[in-house]
Structure 1
Amino acid sequence: MSIKIALDFLKKLEKNNNREWFADNKAEYEQALKEVKTASNAIYKQMQAHDAFEKMKLFRIYRDVRFSKNKQPYKNNFGVAFHRTKPKLRGGYYLQIQPDNNFIATGFWNPDKEDLLRIRKELEVDASDIRDIINDNALKSVWGDLVGEELKTAPKGFDKEHAAIDLIRHKQFIFVKKLTNKEVMAPDFAETVSANFKTIRPFFNYMSAILTTDLNGVSTIKD
């Protein structure tokens, strides 16, 4: 399932981001939304063959401008999140459709302070496993390097000279892959996105194991 109508609509919206134009072109928006929903459902179905999910969420195109300096009423993209089944499965997947700024992303965008501390403590003890995973050729060929916000120095309570401080400083643990307009419009778009997401599983398996146990390896999941 490819995406083309949505890209065309978003190109026009970028130049006409106002309520009057949107109202006049509501029918085209509905077509674009339907196309994105169909493609997202196809991706979701593909991914269910190799992962388990609570839900898929297609974000609204309408912006909340109440507390924003940007008063444009509409986003210039369609965003879709795929939520894994918690508490055993951690991490998430994201798809953005935006002309010349399409991408898929995966990982941990906003871990709460307890989860972040647990990850950092694990890395403090031994970071060899995660280094092997994120440097694996199969994963790296799809996703490149681990990215995300990080501290400029060591978190409180951690040695700034620690061998894994480059990882411990991370506040987010994210992988991002850009997609061309041509890739988004390809007939096998859903299959390709699902296959790309599948390559992240070793990283998710590692992180899920950490976030469901204590430092002694004892499960923290309550029955």
Structure 2
Amino acid sequence: MDFKNLITFLQELNKNNNKEWMDSNRKWYHQVRNEFVGWLDELNDNLLRQYDDYYDTPGKKGINRINNNLLYHPNRPIYKDHFGAGLDKRPNTGDFYIEIGMEESMFAGGLWRPDPKRLASIRDAVDYNGEELVDILEKPSFKKAFGGLVEDVKLTRPPKGFSEDHPHIDLLKHKTFAVMAKFDNTLLFQDNFNEKVFGVYKEMLPFRTYLNKAITV
């Protein structure tokens, strides 16, 4: 995967974020996109061989559109400043997300502001077996990789049906259950970058499994 070419494309797109530029550079875009899809296919095939429960997600299925959704975010530029994709993308669950940006990239996973039904299911799981989630989040290697849950919107008071003295009240107040690990793009050019991807996937897997079990069982 020629990450240098991908980053150069994003930098030029960022300076010329309009349909006219994209139309005149459509061949370049498809070259970069196709190579990115091929790299995702390689990751997908390796993960499929390593994990019995992995959900087969070919690159074309996992890659996100480069166009921003202007219907809901009309003030955003036409095109994103990154290439993003989700692997292990079982329908209606949290996937393993990879984003390659111009200067910084990231891995992420979990559920970002899930709908009320799924959020209630997660809270039920925390109420029933919050110790398991705490153990996952407090594992030293997990904390080193991700720090902790993404700090997003949280309730100031306990959610309905829970008291302030609940042993896991801080977790119950979260409305986003996701983790991320940002990294400098110099990592992309290391010979063992793919192995690092697999390592992050493995470290994150118990967290994603906990959440996905909560919203599907």
TM-score range, shorter chain: 0.7 to 0.9
For residues 156-201 of structure 1, what are the alpha-carbon distances to aligned partners after superposition, in whole Å with 9 as ceiling and x for unaligned? Answer: 2221232311100111211100121111233333332122111122
Q: List aligned pairs for 1:138-217, cutoff 5 A.
A: 138-147=141-150, 148-213=152-217
**Runs of at least 4 residues of structure 1 off by over 4 A?**
none
Q: 1:162 to 1:52 in 2, by over 3 A?
A: same
Q: Share of identical aligned residues, percent?
A: 29
Aligned to 2:180, the other structure's residue is in SS state strand
The partner residue of 1:74 within 70, 79, 92 is: 79
Equivalent residues of 1:46, 1:191 under 8 A apart: no
Aligned to 1:7, the other structure's residue is in SS state helix
The partner residue of 2:105 within 83, 102, 115 is: 102
Equivalent residues of 1:93, 1:105 under 8 A apart: yes
Q: Distance in 2 between matches of 1:45 and 1:149?
A: 36
Q: Where does structure 2 lack aligned partners over 5 or more consecutive residues?
A: none
Q: Aligned AA for 2:79? A: Y
How far is 1:20 from its partner? 1.9
Alignment of 1:62 onto 2:67: yes
How far is 1:92 from its partner? 1.4
Alignment of 1:121 onto 2:124: yes
Q: Where does structure 1 lack aligned partners over 5 or more consecutive residues?
A: 214-223
How far is 1:104 from its partner? 0.9
Aligned length: 211
How far is 1:209 from its partner? 4.1
How far is 1:29 from its partner? 1.4
Match of 1:133 in 2: 136
TM-score (norm 2): 0.85
Match of 1:216 in 2: none
TM-score (norm 1): 0.83
Q: 1:144 to 1:93 in 2, by over 3 A?
A: same
Q: Distance in 2 between matches of 1:141 and 1:2?
A: 29
